[in-house]
Amino acid sequence: MKRQKKLIVGNWKMNPQRVEDAKKIVGEVKKGIRNVKKTQVVLCPPFVYLSSVSSSFKAPLFLGAQDAFYETLGSFTGEVSYTMLQQFKTEFVIVGHSERRKMGEKDEDVNKKVRAVVSCGMTAITCVGESDRDHGGEYLHFIRKQITDALNGVPKKSLSQVVVAYEPIWAIGAKESMTPRDLHETSIFIKKVLVDLFGTLAGDVRIIYGGAVDRTNADRLVKEGNVSGLLIGRESLKPKEFAEIIKLVEAI
Ligand code: PGA
């Protein structure tokens, strides 16, 4: 098992409205994380901004995309292929975000995308998470199935390019995140699922958490939740707050 760095991912979704603002946020985040060494920071702007911001990215800041299509070229109106993304130094791709699943993306599509992304050396941030929690524990079966389907056929040698982003849908965009204690239980469960799938190599897969992360809960979620990092929506568009979260996690 390789020792991996912590990972903080900013998912900008369909924001900001103008490319100048995108450039500004990148510049400010970059300044704010100058001394960061133990953490990888990924920003995932909308596709159309990738080429304009790409030249500003260098470690510890990495460029990510919010999705990638699994074919390399052809008649797929509106899609952007994983090979196109590579040209702009894109190293991470969010796959299977719940907002995309809501628009019709299936486990099978997520699986094809994960395999495509890792096949060319990029890292697939693979999103899973239940829409609600029932007392009978059905949600655990749901999470297990999502992970199993998404990672089906991923070569063992590529597991260090797989991140499982656990994002309970009820916490995304919400006022409050899940509790670090509940996250701890779930991260243990996800680790067990990964061990069932990949045995001793399961530790190559990083697990991160997403859903209403901010500077008041970030370090406890990572520390007590026992995860390798965070996937952050709203707060990643606020450079000061985002940098503060990164520094808190770096200090753990
Ligand atoms: P949020 O979004 O941080 O705004 O809750 C998280 C996500 O959707 O990835």
205 has a pLDDT exceeding 70: yes
Active-site annotation holder among 91, 97, 130, 235 = 97
The residue from 130, 167, 235, 250 that is catalytic is 167
Residue 1 pLDDT exceeds 70: no
206: left (phi over 0), alpha (psi -120 to 50) or beta: beta
User: pLDDT digit string (tens) for 111-170?
Assistant: 999 999 999 999 999 999 999 998 888 999 999 999 999 999 999 999 999 999 999 999
Residues with CB under 6 A from ligand 1: 11, 167, 172-173, 210-213, 231-234
Q: Please name the residue whose Cα sits nearest to atom 1 of ligand 1.
A: 233
Res. 2: pLDDT tops 80 = no
Cα–Cα distance measured from residue 144 to residue 141, given in angstroms and rounded to the nearest whole number: 5
15 phi and psi angles, rounded to 5 deg: -145, 160
Phi-psi region of 52 (alpha: psi -120 to 50; beta: other; left: phi over 0): alpha
- End-to-end CA distance of the chain: give it in Å, rounded: 21
CA 186/CA 170 separation, integer angstroms: 15
Share of the chain above pLDDT 70, in %: 99
Q: Measured at the alpha carbon of residue 244, what is the angle toward residues 57 and 25, in degrees to the nearest 5?
A: 40
